[in-house]
A = this chain, B = another copy of it.
Amino acid sequence: MAALTHMIDSEVFLAFSTYATIVILKMMLMAPMTSYFRLTRKVFANLEDTKLISSTEDKKMIRVDPDVERVRRCHQNDLENIIPFVVIGLLYALTGPDLSTALLHFRVFAGSRICHTIAYVTPLPQPSRGLSWMVGMGITFSMAYRVIGIALYL
Interface residues of A (CB under 8 A from B): 1-6, 8-9, 11, 13-15, 17-18, 20-22, 24-25, 27-28, 30-31, 45-46, 48-49, 51-52, 69-70, 73, 75, 79-81, 83-84, 86-88, 91, 94, 120, 123-127, 129-130, 137, 140-141, 144, 147-148, 151-154
- Find out whether the CB atom of A24 lies under 8 angstroms from the CB atom of B151: no
Interface residue from B25, B73, B137 paired with A45 (Cβ < 8 Å): B73
| Interchain CA distance A52-B125 in the complex, whole Å | 10
- Find out whether the CB atom of A46 lies under 8 angstroms from the CB atom of B123: yes
Q: Determine chain A's interface SS by DSSP, over half rule.
A: helix
Interface residue from B31, B120, B137 paired with A28 (Cβ < 8 Å): B137
